Amino acid sequence: MKVLVTGADGFIGSHLTEALVETGFATKAFVLYNSFNSWGWLDHARPAIKNQLEVFAGDIRDPYGVRTAMKGCDAVLHLASLIAIPYSYHSPDTYVDTNVKGTLNVLQAARELGVARVVHTSTSEVYGTARFVPITEEHPLQGQSPYSASKIAADQLAYSFYASFGLPVTIARPFNTYGPRQSARAVIPTIITQIAKGIRQIRLGAVSPTRDFNFVQDTVAGFIAALRSDGGLGEVVNFGSNFEISIGDTVNLIAEVMGEAIDVLTDEARLRPQASEVERLWAANDKAARLFNWRPAYGGREGFRRGLAETVDWFRKPENLIAYKADVYNI
């Protein structure tokens, strides 16, 4: 099977692309075109991985480029997306172009080319603040930010192509993924990089919300399980650890793992608008177990601690930490 991965240059996409190659899939990586000829995080992949990759540089917003990249592929794992929530307050138009129109381009090309499987990436943010927990796939959708609204639209487009045209689509809905390579716009790298650079008064936004953190290797295993399965067509499937923890407790656990004493300061610039903050996320993951035989290897508090330790080890390496501006808040 030949698989196209969109967003292969990003955090989750690069880990997924490497895992596909290691598992034996013929893999084509769709990366964002740039004048530096950078493949993003794939530039750091082992030579044995890069030598087996086919790379296509383009833009998910360009339907011609998407169709060209998809020719000859049997399956598509669609991860390309704008994901930073604060930036979606600043530039919502770009989220519609990338997340909605980009997804439409993928679906149209897959339909025209007769692709046998499409796995579309959703996000737990589409649920908004939990009305009940753990959150099942039947939970109402609430667009509490322009980002989440754009992902709801993309998810509905993906389902519509299944319902209208029989396109074999599965909608994978990962909860908060963390791990090596993640952008410091996310809370766990924000905490780790500040501590690793010697800062002991950690600047954060709200610390009362809870999240269900999913280690990146578990998220990758979920995508591959969905790709390999004959089930899940036309279905939304959560990938989460079924473990809830507050941001405040996460800070303390990271400090414990790193062996440092810290204080937390509230940075007003990092606070979401009050009605936009998602206060609670906690995943039900039994559907993924039933359809794909997927279970998190890093589940529960102990699994979360192990995942944090692996993440900390990666960020502490000078060659990795140097890429992060821990003292600058970037939306």
323: Cβ–Cβ under 8 A, 6 or more apart, which residues?
none
- Segment (H or E) for 6: strand 2-6
pLDDT in tens, 13-43: 999 999 999 999 999 999 999 999 999 999 9
pLDDT for 331: 83
pLDDT for 265: 95
Taking residues 60-76, report their average pLDDT: 98
Q: What CATH number did the domain enclosing 67 receive?
A: 3.40.50.720
Does residue 175 form part of some domain? Answer: yes
pLDDT in tens, 265-316: 999 999 999 999 999 999 999 999 999 999 999 999 999 999 999 999 999 9
Does residue 188 form part of some domain? Answer: no
pLDDT classification of 330: cutoffs 50, 70, 90:
confident
- Beta carbons within 10 angstroms of residue 277's beta carbon: 17
Tokens standing for residue 34: 């740039």
Does residue 155 form part of some domain? Answer: yes
pLDDT for 94: 98
Instruction: Please say if the pLDDT value at position 264 is more than 90.
Output: yes
pLDDT for 156: 98
3-state helix, strand, coil in the chain (%, to 5): 45, 15, 35
pLDDT in tens, 189-202: 999 999 999 999 99
pLDDT classification of 248: cutoffs 50, 70, 90:
very high
Instruction: Please say if the pLDDT value at position 88 is more than 90.
Output: yes
Percent above pLDDT 70 for the chain: 100
Tokens standing for residue 55: 């790379």
Which of 288, 238, 242 lies closest to 121 in space, CA to CA?
238
Does residue 196 form part of some domain? Answer: no
Does residue 306 form part of some domain? Answer: no
Does residue 113 form part of some domain? Answer: yes
Does residue 85 form part of some domain? Answer: yes
pLDDT classification of 7: cutoffs 50, 70, 90:
very high
Q: Show the domain range for 51.
A: 2-182+215-242+279-298
Task: Please check whether residue 269 is in contact with residue 209, taking contact to mean a CB–CB distance below 8 angstroms.
Answer: no
pLDDT in tens, 51-63: 999 999 999 999 9
Does residue 38 form part of some domain? Answer: yes
Tokens standing for residue 195: 């501590």
DSSP secondary structure string, 290-305? HHH----TT-HHHHHH
Using CA atoms, how far apart are residues 182 and 10, in angstroms rounded to an integer?
A: 8
Instruction: Please say if the pLDDT value at position 327 is more than 90.
Output: no
Instruction: Please say if the pLDDT value at position 47 is more than 90.
Output: yes
pLDDT classification of 48: cutoffs 50, 70, 90:
very high
- Give bridge partners of residue 313 from the DSSP assignment: none
What is the number of domains present in the chain? 1
Taking residues 5-18, report their average pLDDT: 98
Instruction: Please say if the pLDDT value at position 323 is more than 90.
Output: yes
Instruction: Please say if the pLDDT value at position 133 is more than 90.
Output: yes
Angle, helices 102-113/146-165, rounded to nearest 10 degrees: 20
Q: 3-class SS at 2?
A: strand
CB burial of residue 265 (10 Å; 0-12, 13-18, 19+) = exposed
* Mean confidence (pLDDT) of the chain: 97
Instruction: Please say if the pLDDT value at position 80 is more than 90.
Output: yes
